Chain A
Amino acid sequence: MKNFLRLNASLLYWVFVAPFKGEVFKISPIFRQMVFIGVRATPMVALTAFSIGVTLAMQAAHSLQELGAEIYVPDLVMVSLLREMGPVLIAVIVIGRSGSAVAAELGTMKVSEEIEALEVMAINPISYLIVPRFIAMLIMLPALTIFGNYIGVFGGWAVCHFALDVTTAGYILRAIESANTWDLYSGIIKSAVFAWIIITIACNAGLRVEGGAEGVGQATTAAVVQSLLAMLVSNAILTSLFFFK
């Protein structure tokens, strides 16, 4: 925990303070990480979000059809997708894909003395390795969430269009009417918080690896499990802050 807080402190220093002291971080590694963390995850995110959209619509239809209120399917899809399902499930995908990869990569660098070599070359490992991943994650997870929201809404539409008596125009109208911008913003805020949690836990686990391949494996598992738990707990806290008053 002490190490985790120290990592957070030095991250904040290298992102927000050091650039004003003339030690600006390089931009190109950030884009490289954005491709790894964000761009390459789009197919998985799209498939996940589409499945969620379809599932939500089917479940909503099942209950609402009995009441003859099929027209409210888009409402349910929109609200649950934007507020909860989108941010949480896309964060799960990113934890599995990038959180584990970052922990394993940094852990391998630690055991093969690469991080020590960086330090001895007077290159700060936090600024050189962690900052690009941190910034890339902070940008790409919310971006993926917005992208996933679109695909999820499309999934809901697919169910309404092909299986239910809801027209496309009706779906769009209900969707726009039911969801307000705060639903979207709350989801984006959540995903930004998740991004912070995921990347700092993964980096911390990677940097603390000891003892070869076994240690790398343990760190990767720890990164995934800890960030999943931390993400779900913080989601509950954020929901209670945003919507449960």
Chain B
Amino acid sequence: MNPTSEPVVEVSDLFRKFGDRTVIDNLSFTIHRGETLVIMGGSGCGKSTLLRHIIGVMKPTAGSVKIFGQEITAMDDREIAEVRRRFGMLFQSGALLASLSVGENVALPLLQHTDMSIDEIQETVTQKLQMVGLNGFNDLKPSEISGGMRKRVGLARALALDPELLFSDEPTSGLDPIMTAVVDKLTLELTKDEGMTAVVVTHDMTSAFRIATRMIMLGRGRILAQGTPDEIRTHPDPEVQQFINGEPDGPMPLNLSQDDHAHHPHVKARPLVSARRRFHHKMP
């Protein structure tokens, strides 16, 4: 691990507004090769929105996002697709294709982006599913397995093309403690041994401190704290302490107002119905 090596993701002066509300407020950070960056923060603080901006699904109001040194905010769909072949993404829900079996889901990126033979693909699929602790589930449909298993299949799919960079949105939520440890170990192995870079959004503090080489804590669209796990653990900000120790009382607001949720693409805020259109992701 060499944090001084080349930057893989560079976010600078990123702003995103939905109407009058600023969801991402002047964020800047850099992720270097081989690092595992954990992004933490309360629900609705802009974590998933930030991730969506980094992978180019959403366009920022202002600012720049560079992946592998290329500016993703200025790219057309074809150029973004080129960059996306080099990274994997694990969605919060797994986002498996319901019409395909578990094996076919993992095989999908291989079928679409490589010239591997069917035998090679089958071998890779089995190997990737073994990595996440799933054997013999290849022929089941996503609807026939549990949520935690779906998430692990999603991870296997994200790793199918041996990406240089992995984005995980809550990789361990819904997993039992043992499987959480398995997934964490896998992330550690891939970053340490293969030089993969990982960006992990999580609520799970045990897992976060286990895998992180650096952590960012978001709140109200800003970076509240960033640093190594040790620096975060001893951070003076009471909000950070409240969050990492999971205390009910503290400076963090207990209830979010409806406006705080309005930016979430799957939550429709009633008073802001006219704002719905802005959440509509542009289809290529």
Contacts and interface: CB of A to CB of B under 8 A. Distances in A.
Interface of A: 3, 6-7, 10, 105, 108-109, 111-114, 116-126, 128, 207-208, 210-212
Contacts of B57: 116, 119-120
Given A122-B82, A122-B109, 17 more contacts: A6-B283, A7-B283, A112-B93, A112-B95, A113-B95, A114-B95, A114-B96, A116-B91, A116-B95, A117-B95, A120-B57, A121-B84, A121-B109, A122-B112, A122-B113, A125-B283, A208-B280
Given A108-B98, A109-B98, A212-B266, A117 B91 contact: yes
Interface in B135-192: 157
A124 B92 CA distance: 21
Nearest to A111: B266
A113 B81 CA distance: 17
A126 B85 contact: no
Which of B82, B97, B283 has most chain A Cβ within 10 Å?
A: B283
Nearest to B283: A207
6 nearest CB pairs, A to B: A117-B95, A122-B84, A113-B95, A122-B81, A120-B89, A122-B85
Interface in B32-69: 55, 57
Q: Main SS of the interface on chain A?
A: helix
Contacts of A113: 91-93, 95
Interface residues of B, number: 30
Interface string B91-112: 1110111110000000011001
A112 B150 CA distance: 13
B183 to A, nearest CB: 18
Contacts, number: 73
A117 B89 contact: yes
Contact of B112 (A6, A123, A126): A123
Interface of B: 55, 57, 77, 80-82, 84-85, 89, 91-93, 95-99, 108-109, 112-113, 157, 266, 268, 276, 279-281, 283-284
Nearest to B83: A122
8 contacts: A112-B95, A113-B91, A113-B95, A114-B96, A120-B57, A125-B284, A207-B283, A210-B279
A208 B96 CA distance: 19
A244 B109 CA distance: 53
Contacts of B97: 109, 114, 117-118
B52 to A, nearest CB: 8
Contact of B281 (A112, A116, A123): A116
Given A120-B55, A120-B84, A126-B284, A112 B98 contact: yes
Nearest to B109: A121
A122 B55 CA distance: 11
Contacts of B85: 122
B188 to A, nearest CB: 24
A210 B280 contact: yes
A211 B279 CA distance: 11
Contacts of A112: 93, 95, 98
A126 B283 contact: yes
A210 B268 contact: yes
Contacts of B96: 114, 117
Contact of A119 (B93, B266, B284): B284
Nearest to A128: B112
